[in-house]
Chain A
């Protein structure tokens, strides 16, 4: 009878099986996600309707009704679509502003060198990372500075003549590159044990966060010259660059501080117990984790900064948007659709840049994810 006390004994171990294949293909996915129930189907249909209402006019304007060729306004008059020959005609001005025609190759080299350095930097598996970083942080900025402004036998080009996408990128890239390290230092300063450092950081951050960027730009262009001694001029673009960089770094500092606050105390203790110095601990243990955690916030700040560059228009710098707007005064292309076309073009360019940053940050987040979160 003893044998019946045992209710169940496995006599064969279950084999290890591969996971079942994901079901369905496109149709299966649609059935599961879009039409799984009556309510879901209704939502899907409403969604499609909204998309149609939004995008149908856009596509009609940008593609179907658009004018694609022509030499002047005559071609676009009477049409309801975008006037693309106007953009084509102005394209180089949108890119270079009033940069002298014969010198634009210099800008092209800068753009090319930037892409050449940036792309392998963004691809994690690309080799020679150290050389790459040195190129981007040292060689490129110096070379770009001389190429763009002139010297060494090259014609001097005043920054007042720069414009278009060139100005947008110069401001955005400088702001991005300067604001991250500055923001990190400020965030560390704000959490420092030393009262003076902490106070200085807090004052700096709160000052720059407390004033609108427009005010900063106005101050830098109107007020600053009043304080400077007679005869000293200070490049307008440079002033905007500094203003934007400091402004962005204050925001960056708070984003980074958020990340620092999320690091458990045990990480500091683990690092200290091993004998790491403060900067080693911060640089090797704390910052990498904190920054990884706030990638979405960092990229958010970058994207905000990129779009805020359009504000330099009010101090008389012509960035991409400013350059497009200034072209509206040209009678050659004056038509009812001209400004719509220009703004659409501007929106497309800004969107492309910002969307790329956003996608890249998502890619990086996934890549840096280690281990299972529970």
Chain B
């Protein structure tokens, strides 16, 4: 605990959050699955360089919310503005946003028929039209950053879960995104592999990446988050800086949730 606190004190000043530059703005967003009202009046503003952790019980709509940001899900009411681009049905804008927003999934979603290197070079080559050689250099750079360059020619099925998730992060980074979304990146991992993935994410945070992370790793939240958001039943229930959020939760639902995950 004291170690984390020391790291927090050390790491935080390095991460500059912009005062004026808005990365993501969600205004009055609502979404329904059929008759089921999944997201209710979501309002959220993420500044450039800001790191936000989203937590909440299963089924509360966390995944749905961040998947709306890169249009894996369509919202029905309200506005989502990413990097100054308003999300509409316009395919061109959706493509533009997806190019700027990287996403890491709970189940990695690597492409099993391609090697690790090909997984990483695919989008730069086909979406960014980067020459193959350059794309491979970029890919190797990021694979080194996530500490698995030696696995480049293997297939995803030959790697451990932690390694696969690090590849997934590298694959996103190869597109040089300005914003990264994480949807429970460590929930499908064996305990001993969680740290290697969190370390990579902490590294990213320290470099000033704008991050929106759905996670229940509270140590990670304390270490890197500027704000923690608690969702329940499709709404944002509480929002606070990590220290007060964990030590002094206001809403009773937050208290209940925290008491359950922190024992």
Taking residues whose C-beta sits less than 8 angstroms from the other chain, chain A's interface range is: 20 to 34
8 Å CB contact of A275 from B105, B112, B127 = B127
B40-90 interface (Cβ within 8 A of A): 70, 72
Tell me whether B148 is interfacial, beta carbon within 8 Å: no
Asked if B31 is an interface residue, CB under 8 A from chain A, the answer is no
Q: Does A131 contact B (CB under 8 A)?
A: no
Contact with B along A335-374 (1 / 0, CB 8 A): 0000000000000000000000000000000001011110
- Assembly CA distance A93 to B81 (angstroms): 73
Query: In the bound complex, what is the Cα–Cα distance between A368 and B112 (angstroms)?
Result: 11
**Centre residue among B72, B95, B112, B155 by max chain A CB count within 10 A:** B112
Query: Of the candidates B101, B102, B127, B158, which one forms a contact with A276 in the assembled complex, judged by CB atoms under 8 Å apart?
Result: B127
B171 at the interface (CB under 8 A from A): yes
Please, which residue of chain A has its CB at the minimum distance from the CB of B71?
A272
Contact A275 B158, CB 8 Å, known A266-B107, A270-B105, A370-B112: no
* In the complex, B162 has a CB within 8 A of chain A: no
A272's contact among B98, B111, B113, by CB below 8 Å, is which?
B98
Nearest Cβ distance between residue B139 and chain A, in whole angstroms? 13
Interface majority SS (helix, strand, loop, mixed), chain A: helix
A275 touches B95 (CB 8 A): yes
Distance, CA A101 to CA B7, complexed state (A):
89
B168's nearest neighbour on chain A, judged by CB, is: A270
In the docked arrangement, what's the CA distance between A373 and B112, Å? 11
| Contact pattern, B 153-191, Cβ under 8 Å of A = 1, otherwise 0 | 011111000000000000110010000000000000000
Contacts of B17 in A (CB 8 A): none
Given contacts A285-B111, A370-B157, A371-B157, contact A266 B98 (CB under 8 A): no
A269 to B71, CA, bound (A): 10
Partner pick for B112 among A269, A274, A280, A371, CB 8 A cutoff = A371
Task: Name B123's closest neighbour in chain A (CB-CB).
Answer: A274
B98 touches A267 (CB 8 A): no
Within 8 A of B (CB), among A257-284: 266-267, 269-277, 280, 284
Instruction: Tell me, rounded to whole Å, the shortest Cβ–Cβ distance linking A324 to chain B.
Output: 44
The interface centre, meaning the residue of A273, A288, A372 with most chain B CB atoms within 10 A of its CB, is: A273
Of all chain A residues, which has the CB nearest B91?
A: A277
> A292 contacts the other chain (Cβ, under 8 Å)?
yes
Does A310 belong to the interface (CB within 8 Å)? no
> Which of B72, B123, B156, B175 interacts with A269 by CB under 8 Å?
B72
**Interface presence of A289 (CB below 8 A):** yes
Which of chain B's residues have a CB closer than 8 A to the CB of A267?
A: 109, 111
Q: B95 — nearest CB in chain A belongs to which residue?
A: A275
Query: Smallest distance from the beta carbon of B92 to chain A beta carbons, Å?
Result: 11
CA gap between A285 and B171 in the complex, in Å:
14
CB–CB A371/B122 < 8 A: no
Residue of A with least CB distance to B99 = A275
The residues of A that contact B156 with a CB separation of less than 8 Å are 371
CB 8 Å contact bits of A277-303 with B (1 = contact, 0 = none): 100100011001100100000000000
> Are the C-beta atoms of B105 and A266 separated by less than 8 Å?
yes
What are the residues of chain B within 8 A of A373 when measuring CB–CB? 157
Is B126 in contact with chain A by the CB < 8 A criterion? yes
Contact yes or no, B112 A289, CB < 8 A: yes
User: B107 touching A289 by the CB < 8 A rule?
Assistant: no
Q: Contact mask B126-146 → A, CB, 8 Å, 1/0?
A: 110000000000000000000
Inter-subunit contact A280/B126 (CB<8 Å)? yes
Judged by a CB distance under 8 angstroms, whether B103 is at the interface is: yes
How many angstroms between the C-alpha atoms of A266 and B156 in the bound complex?
14
Is the beta-carbon distance between A276 and B123 smaller than 8 angstroms?
yes
B110 interface residue (CB < 8 Å to A): yes
Residues of B with C-beta under 8 A to A371: 112, 154-158
Distance from B27 Cβ to chain A, minimum over Cβ atoms (Å): 23
Q: How far is the CA of A266 from the CA of B164 in the complex (A)?
A: 14
The answer for the CA separation of A180 and B218 in the assembled complex, in Å, is: 52
Complex: how many Å from CA A266 to CA B126? 19
A272 proximity list for chain B (CB < 8 A): 70, 72, 98
The answer for the CA separation of A269 and B103 in the assembled complex, in Å, is: 9
Q: How far is the CB of B153 from chain A (nearest CB, A)?
A: 11
Contacts of B103 in A (CB 8 A): 269, 273
Q: CA A372 – CA B164 in complex, angstroms? A: 14
A285 contact set on B, CB distance < 8 A: 111
Find residues 80-136 in chain A having any chain B CB closer than 8 Å to their own CB.
Answer: none
Q: Are A372 and B126 in contact (CB under 8 A)?
A: no
Q: Which residues of B contact A276 (CB under 8 A)?
A: 122-123, 126-127
Max chain A Cβ within 10 angstroms of own Cβ: one of B101, B103, B111: B111
* Nearest-Cβ distance from residue A292 to partner chain B, whole angstroms: 7
**Chain A positions 51 through 69: 1 when the CB is less than 8 Å from some CB of chain B, otherwise 0:** 0000000000000000000
What are the residues of chain A within 8 A of B127 when measuring CB–CB? 274-276, 280
Assess whether A274 is in contact with B72, with CB atoms less than 8 Å apart.
no
- A288 CA / B171 CA spacing, docked (Å): 19
Q: Which A residues are CB-close (under 8 A) to B110?
A: 270
Inter-subunit contact B113/A289 (CB<8 Å): yes
- Asked if B98 contacts A275 (CB within 8 A), the reply is yes
A interface vs B, CB < 8 Å? 266-267, 269-277, 280, 284-285, 288-289, 292, 368, 370-373
User: Can you name 7 A-B residue pairings with CB atoms under 8 Å?
Assistant: A266-B107, A269-B72, A269-B103, A272-B98, A280-B126, A289-B113, A370-B157
When A and B form their complex, which 5 residue pairs have the shortest distance between CB atoms, in order from nearest?
Answer: A371-B157, A270-B109, A274-B123, A370-B155, A275-B98
Given A270-B110, A272-B98, 17 additional A-B pairs, CB 8 A: A266-B109, A267-B111, A273-B72, A273-B109, A275-B98, A275-B99, A275-B127, A276-B123, A284-B122, A288-B113, A368-B113, A370-B112, A371-B112, A371-B154, A371-B156, A371-B157, A372-B157
